[in-house]
Amino acid sequence: MSRVVWLSLINHPLFPIALTLAAFQVAGWLYRRSGLLVLQPVLVSMLLVVGTLLLCWVDYGTYRAGAEPIALLLGPATVALAVPLQHNIRRIRQLCWPIMITLWVGGALSMGHTMAIGLLLGWAGVEHPAARA
């Protein structure tokens, strides 16, 4: 493919939307085909998009501006999750304590892992601004 055609393709206003939708379709196909939980479509599509942006030398700001229509649809999609939650409210109430414990443990573990990785990479901590005075 010639350089001019390639540049016009990745600079097209619909490129970020097409890339996002194509990556999600490929990731969904891969997940259904493999059945592996590690290959969740959202995770795999994110990795595909990031990889493509790096390979094509497209900065995130350009991608984000072009994919804004998809980002605008995330709000209504999130609100639409309330309907299935409402239909399963009895089951959610039954599992309230296991859900709460899982959220607390997951939050604590993620904070701990983040701090451990930071310390391994040489993070010395953040000094509180009042301590400088």
3-state secondary structure 30-90: HHHHHCCHHHCHHHHHHHHHHHHHHHHCCCHHHHHHHCHHHHHHHHHHHHHCHHHHHHCHH
Q: 6-18 burial string, b = 16+ CB within 10 Å, else e?
A: eeeebeeeebbbe
pLDDT for residue 125: 67
Q: What is the pLDDT of residues 13-35, one digit of tens each?
A: 889 999 999 999 999 999 999 98
Q: What is the pLDDT of residues 121-133, one digit of tens each?
A: 887 766 656 656 5
pTM above 0.75, yes or no: no
pLDDT for residue 133: 57
Q: What is the pLDDT of residues 43-65, one digit of tens each?
A: 999 999 999 999 988 889 989 99
